[in-house]
A and B are shown apart, each in its own frame.
Chain A
Amino acid sequence: MKVRVHVSLKPGVLDPQGRAIHHALEGLGFSGVNDVRAGRLIELDVDDGVSDEALDDMCRKLLANMVIENYRIEKLETA
């Protein structure tokens, strides 16, 4: 089973990287961009028997830093 974990900064946590990207977009002449937040996408290939609880545990214990980040688990169809 393919699993995508989307890790993003919590709302309210300043994102210097997103701000720099935003600035660069403006520098390239793109207008109308109100905000940019940068995150991380982690793709896992796991056995079908791996439980939702285990996936959640992986996120909390390692993949996301719960002090500053949120995560969202997206399960994809097995290829």
Chain B
Amino acid sequence: MAFRSAVVTFPGSNCDRDMAVALELVSGTPAIRVWHGDAALPDRLDFIALPGGFSYGDYLRSGAMAARSPIMRAVIEAANRGVPVLGVCNGFQVLTESGLLPGALMRNASQHFICRTVPLVVANTQSLFTAGYDAGATIRIPVAHHDGNYFADQATLDELEGEGRVAFRYGETVNGSQRDIAGVLNRAGNVLGMMPHPERAVEPAHGGSDGRALFESVVKGLVEA
């Protein structure tokens, strides 16, 4: 059964092609490319990816305009039906701005744009996205962002931790995120937002392939489902 995935491109997205390449590499099926102005998604999707970049030039707040674009109405509706959605970097910002994930991504505490490979602890290995990792594993994935400082109120943070919804934590100080949170899941477990870029670490030529297991987890999970 072919894996039907879609990658959404907003004006200013710049990791959409990398995401599509990673999805094809792992699933063997080309990803369908979707434009922000489209009102509908392709039928029978197994997976939707919101890529990194600087959608709408980060006007107002990172991800704020993209979260209100026509295609996001369809993405929200699909996510609520249980279709898996992955948002990376700007995609994570779009997911919080759209309300699909709690919290917000603020300017890095250092004020600097951070572009380097960081250690990530896989905090939950039970999810659709992380089942392929060993419990407690530390992996190395690149980050490249200015607004990756995860913020939520204490009650929300407690709830996320209590429900196992922190998927990834930084293994070192990176951007000032509350409780070193690098990636969070929605309550149903079908939406993951993360600042690090797994699609930039899927083959040895990238300098590391620790991101590959994330995509393999999704493909395997859906084929078995």
Chain A residues within CB distance 8 Å of chain B: 13-14, 16-17, 20, 61-63, 65, 67-68
Mind listing 8 A-B residue pairs with CB under 8 Å?
Answer: A14-B106, A16-B111, A16-B176, A20-B111, A62-B60, A63-B60, A67-B104, A68-B104
Partner of A17, one of B103, B107, B152: B107
Q: Does B27 contact A (CB under 8 A)?
A: no
Interface of B is mostly: loop
| Chain B residues positioned under 8 Å from A20 (CB to CB) | 111
Q: A-B pairs with CB below 8 Å: how many?
A: 36
Q: Are B109 and A14 in contact (CB under 8 A)?
A: yes
Q: A14-B151, A14-B176, A62-B60 are in contact. List 9 more A-B contacts (CB 8 A).
A: A14-B106, A16-B109, A16-B110, A61-B68, A62-B64, A63-B60, A65-B64, A67-B102, A68-B104
| Chain A residues positioned under 8 Å from B106 (CB to CB) | 13-14, 16, 68
The 3 A-B pairs with the shortest beta carbon distances in the complex, nearest first, are A67-B104, A68-B104, A16-B107
| Chain A residues positioned under 8 Å from B111 (CB to CB) | 16-17, 20
Q: Does B220 contact A (CB under 8 A)?
A: no
Interface centre among B104, B149, B152, by most A CB within 10 Å?
A: B104
Task: Name which residue of chain A comes closest to B110, CB basis.
Answer: A16
Q: Are B109 and A65 in contact (CB under 8 A)?
A: no
Partner of B103, one of A16, A61, A67: A67
Q: Does B199 contact A (CB under 8 A)?
A: no
| Chain A residues positioned under 8 Å from B102 (CB to CB) | 67
Q: Complex: how many Å from CA A63 to CA B60?
A: 8
Q: Are A16 and B108 in contact (CB under 8 A)?
A: yes
Q: Does B90 contact A (CB under 8 A)?
A: no
Task: Name which residue of chain B comes closest to A61, CB basis.
Answer: B68
Q: Are B110 and A68 in contact (CB under 8 A)?
A: no
Q: Does B180 contact A (CB under 8 A)?
A: no
- B184 CB to closest chain A CB, in angstroms? 13
Q: Are B151 and A68 in contact (CB under 8 A)?
A: yes
Partner of A62, one of B68, B96, B176: B68
Q: Complex: how many Å from CA A20 to CA B111?
A: 8
Task: Name which residue of chain B comes closest to A38, CB basis.
Answer: B107
